[in-house]
Amino acid sequence: MKDLIQETKNIRKSILLMNHRANASHSGSALSIVELLTVLYFKYLKIDRKNLKDNKRDKFILSKGHASSALYATLAEWGAFEKSFLDKFYIDGGILPGHVDMEAAPGLECAAGSLGHGLSIGLGMAIASKYQKLPSRVVVMISDGELNEGSIWEPLLLAPHLKLDNLTVIVDYNKIQSFGITNEVVNLEPLGEKLKSFNWHLIEIDGHDMMQIENALNEKTDKPKIIVAHTTKGKGVSFMENKLEWHYRSPNKELLEQAYLELN
């Protein structure tokens, strides 16, 4: 797995540069999912870079659309589109908006930005794939704060009922949301027990350990799978880690350089 370390560093640098240049928020929410996205795109998802619209492809939905910079940076690193697209994030006349527009660039499966949408859409894709006898697997990533949305619990209830073994949900449990500590805003715990009682195949992992991520994704089950990935908001940049303010801030030039030094 050593080979992917460099990819995660490149993706983190892209995220920081994009947010710095655009003065955009949500750096911390993007940094917490870098290993997850890296393993997904470089190890797990079966998607043909040259035929991104092939209906047999696996599909990934980033439901926590505010972390779009991480998705864009990963897709560029993986080769869905030119890295130069990343220079056009969040700015006047840009290409990539702050929250995902499906039409913005190749490889984006779904719009996102309003929380609590992606899981139902992914569920629809999983049902359709079964009916169409497609090999497609669907992975949806949601945030911990997103679990406050009632609309998340509707598909959480239905997917196990339909026994969809082609659907995987990843919860980015970075434990900080807009107003503070996730479990102080609205307590999700005991989260694992809740999800297990809903009949999901539950796996809890360290969301920055790429071996654990890969093993969890490949674990065989006949139920829909939910991976609760314990992560660190702002992961990889010491002064951003576990800091609420980095839900909003973007690094200035000086902090960007400092972050780069740490990543190198």
Partner 1 sequence: MRKTFINTLVELARKDERIFLITPDIGYSVLEVFMNEFPHRSLNVGVAEQNAIGIAAGMALNGLIPYVYTINPFVCMRPFEQIRVDVAYMNTNVRIVGVGAGFSYGSAGATHHSIEDIAIMRALPNMTVVCPGDPWEVSEALKASVDYKGPMFFRLGKQGEPVINNPKSKFKIGKANKIRTGKDLHIISTSNTLEIANNVCEILKTKKINAGLLSMHTIKPFDNKAVIDLLKTKKPIFTIEEHNIIGGLGSAVSEVIAESGFNPLFKRFGVNDKYSHYVGSHDFIRAKFGITKENISKNILKLIGKKLK
DSSP line for 18-64: HHHHHT-S-HHHHHTTHHHHHHIIIII----TT-TT-TTS-EEEES-
Among 20, 117, 230, 247, interactor with partner 1 by CB under 8 A: 117
Per-residue x/- track, 139-178, partner 1 (CB under 8 A)? -----------xx--xx-xx--------------------
**Beta bridge pairs of residue 167:** 138
For 78, what's the count of Cα atoms within 13 Å in the CB-facing half-sphere? Answer: 26
Among 28, 98, 107, 122, interactor with partner 1 by CB under 8 A: 122
224 binds partner 1 (CB under 8 A): no
Smallest separation, CB 133 to partner 1 (Å): 11
Across the chain, which distance is largest between two alpha carbons, in Å?
53
Alpha-carbon distance of 231 to 182, in angstroms, equals 13
Give ∠ CA 257-28-152 in degrees, rounded to 5. Answer: 160
- Please give the backbone phi and psi of residue 10, each rounded to the nearest 5 degrees, phi first: -60, -40
Smallest separation, CB 248 to partner 1 (Å): 23
Among 5, 6, 49, 124, interactor with partner 1 by CB under 8 A: 124
Smallest separation, CB 155 to partner 1 (Å): 5
129 binds partner 1 (CB under 8 A): yes
Rule CB under 8 A: which residues touch partner 1? Answer: 55, 102, 109-111, 113-114, 116-117, 119-129, 131-132, 134, 136, 150-151, 154-155, 157-158
